[in-house]
């Protein structure tokens, strides 16, 4: 049960205002309002660093029913700027639960709103496109005035646009760390990589832990390095492969990442990029990116492998995409979205480098396309043979 039911407003930059109840921290938050269609995984979504400066609307109506635990996190803290849901169940129940979603949001200082007609909101975002918004909490029991509404709208309108924002350098970790933890399994929990076969250097632009775990589960010892690490420093570590992580914001202003990626690919070291990493690899190869209308966020996106015609149901979370018309001759499309035909995968024809726009580590989501991790280890195997 919630201790106090503070009220809350959700205002969009276009002037639309929704009224609901506060289920998180007191105060206000601003960010780009996006919708995610995943049925489960609210804790992984909240902690995904790619959601920095974004307020996430979950379209599944009941959120919070299994509470939160210490394991289902993709980073050490909540990165989403806020949360919008329809219904917070009165009771959370799960054998792994350590606290309720509401307690967690309060502890993390995350402003969140419930009792919102998320269908209406999602249709609005789908028709008009993603836009900035503000969640403003207000004391319980007091009537909400027009001045409160106007204040929330003004805060939404004053928030910076996502286009042009380099957020990778904001969320990247400070130092160099070694990652050895493998994937979680019921009964055994997390494991440790033993007798690692490959050494991978992973650029952290806001990396999700499950990517590192899936690499570790495939025999990789992973050295995680900050976003601005020069290519020369990475190459000096003698990696078998280099990984370019997911991350928040617009890929285009990340010139340091684009330049180091260009240099690394040039040397012929096997390179794999996911999401922001995919966009960085494309930019480093001479392609362009653009801002999508409302992006792809969810766990039910069909993607076609153009080499095999196989369709995978994938997890997605991106607001930018690579422009197919801008591809240079040495960048080959390997996957497309069956939702809107946008590019989902690319491979260099001249170097052992490939990338994927969606999330093969799908945490949460289906693992149909986890074969991309095996493709990466196969490239390293071939290089070392
Ligand atoms: N998940 C990601 O890495 C997102 C990449 C980028 N920030 C986008 O929105 O397109």
One domain, residues 100 and 223: no
- The end-to-end CA distance of the chain, in Å, is 59
Q: For the chain, what is the domain count?
A: 2
Local structure of 9: helix, strand or coil: strand
Report residues of the chain scoring pLDDT below 50.
Answer: 1-2
Tell me whether residue 259 is one of the annotated catalytic residues.
no
Do 229 and 362 lie in a common domain? yes
Q: Is 320 in the pocket of ligand 1 (CB under 6 A)?
A: yes
Q: Which of 158, 193, 208 is the last residue of a domain?
A: 158
> For a pocket test of ligand 1, which of 169, 279, 344, 365 has the largest count of ligand atoms closer than 8 A to its C-beta?
279
Query: Helix H segments across the chain?
Result: 42-47, 101-107, 118-128, 146-158, 168-171, 209-217, 231-236, 255-266, 276-284, 371-384
Full domain range(s) for residue 369: 168-384
Indicate if 47 and 153 belong to the same structural domain.
yes
Q: Are residues 39 and 124 in the same domain?
A: yes
| 319 is annotated as contributing to ligand binding | yes
2 in a structural domain: no
Q: Is 359 a catalytic residue?
A: yes
Domain CATH code at residue 221: 3.40.50.880
Q: Let me know if residue 25 belongs to a domain.
A: yes
Residue 331, helix vs strand vs coil = strand
Residues 322, 362: one domain? yes
Q: Are residues 177 and 95 in the same domain?
A: no
Q: How far apart are CA 173 and CA 181, in angstroms?
A: 18
Name the closest-CA residue to atom 8, ligand 1. Answer: 318
**Structural domain includes residue 211:** yes
What tokens does 53 get? 């400066």
**Cα 293 from Cα 271, distance rounded (Å):** 29
Cα 161 from chain centroid (whole Å): 18
Cβ(245) – ligand 1 distance below 6 Å: no
Nearest to 291 by CA among 162, 188, 159, 122: 162
Q: Is residue 134 part of a domain?
A: yes
Question: Do β-strands 289-305 and 271-274 pair in parallel, antiparallel, or remain unpaired?
Answer: unpaired
The reply to whether 50 and 70 lie within a common domain is yes
Assigned domain for 56 exists: yes
Residue 87 has a pLDDT of 98
Backbone angles phi, psi at 144, to 5 degrees: -85, 130
Kindly state whether residue 63 falls inside one of the protein's structural domains. yes
Whether residue 247 has its Cβ less than 6 Å from ligand 1: yes
Domain limit, last residue, from 123, 158, 193: 158
In contact, 269 and 242? CB cutoff 8 Å: yes
CA distances from 173 to 53, 206, 262, 298 (A): 17, 8, 22, 26
β-pairing verdict for 17-22 and 112-114? antiparallel
Q: How many C-beta neighbours within 10 Å does residue 24 have?
A: 27
SS3 label, residue 207 = coil
Note whether 151 and 188 are same-domain residues.
no
**CATH code of the domain covering residue 63:** 3.50.30.20
What are the residues whose beta carbons fall under 8 Å from the beta carbon of 61, sequence distance 6 or more?
85, 86, 87, 118
**CB distance 314 to ligand 1 below 6 Å:** no
199 and 147 belong to one structural domain = no
Residue 163 domain flag = no
pLDDT computed for residue 141 by the predictor = 87
85 and 197, same domain (yes or no): no
* DSSP at 166: B
Predicted model pTM: 0.97
Residue 1 lies in a domain: no
How does DSSP assign 175-200, residue by residue? Answer: S-EEE-B---BTTTBS-B--S--EEE
Burial environment of residue 384 by CB neighbours within 10 A (0 to 12, 13 to 18, 19 or more): exposed
Domain boundary among the residues 158, 187, 213 is at: 158
306 in the same domain as 207: yes
For 18, the 3-state DSSP assignment is: strand
Is residue 150 domain-shared with residue 194, that is, in the same domain? Answer: no
């Amino acid at each position: 049960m919630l201790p106090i039911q503070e009220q809350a407003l959700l205002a969009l930059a276009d002037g639309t205002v929704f009224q609901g109840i506060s289920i998180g921290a007191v105060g206000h938050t601003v960010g780009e309002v996006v919708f995610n269609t995943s049925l489960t995984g609210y804790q992984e979504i909240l902690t995904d660093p790619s959601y920095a400066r974004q307020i996430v609307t979950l379209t599944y109506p009941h959120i919070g029913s299994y509470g939160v635990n210490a394991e289902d996190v993709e980073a050490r803290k909540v990165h989403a700027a806020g949360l919008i849901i329809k219904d917070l169940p009165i009771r959370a129940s799960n054998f792994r639960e350590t606290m309720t979603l509401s307690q967690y949001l309060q502890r993390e200082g995350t402003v969140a709103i419930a009792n919102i007609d998320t269908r209406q909101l999602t249709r609005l975002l789908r028709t008009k496109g993603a836009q900035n918004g503000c969640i403003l909490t207000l004391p319980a029991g007091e009537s909400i005035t027009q001045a409160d509404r106007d204040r929330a709208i003004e805060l939404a309108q004053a928030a910076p646009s996502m286009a042009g924002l380099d957020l990778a350098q904001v969320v990247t970790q400070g130092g160099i760390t070694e990652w050895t933890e493998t994937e979680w399994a019921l009964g055994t929990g997390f494991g440790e990589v033993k007798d690692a076969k490959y050494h991978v250097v992973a650029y952290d632009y806001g990396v999700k832990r499950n990517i590192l775990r899936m690499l570790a589960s495939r025999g990789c010892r992973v050295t995680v390095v900050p976003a601005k690490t020069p290519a020369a420093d990475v190459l000096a570590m003698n990696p078998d492969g280099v990984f370019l992580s997911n991350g928040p914001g617009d890929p285009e202003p990340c010139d340091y990442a684009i330049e180091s990626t260009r240099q690394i690919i040039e040397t012929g070291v096997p390179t794999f990029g996911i999401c922001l990493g995919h966009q960085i690899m494309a930019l480093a190869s001479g392609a362009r990116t653009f801002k999508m209308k409302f992006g792809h966020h969810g766990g039910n996106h069909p993607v076609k492998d153009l080499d095999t015609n196989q369709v995978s149901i994938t997890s997605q979370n991106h607001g930018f995409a690579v422009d197919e018309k801008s591809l240079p001759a040495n960048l080959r499309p390997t996957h497309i979205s069956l939702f809107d035909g946008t590019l989902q995968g690319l491979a260099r024809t001249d170097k052992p480098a490939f990338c994927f726009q969606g999330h093969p580590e799908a945490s949460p989501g289906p693992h149909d396309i986890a074969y991309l991790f095996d493709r990466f280890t196969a490239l390293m195997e071939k290089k070392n043979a």
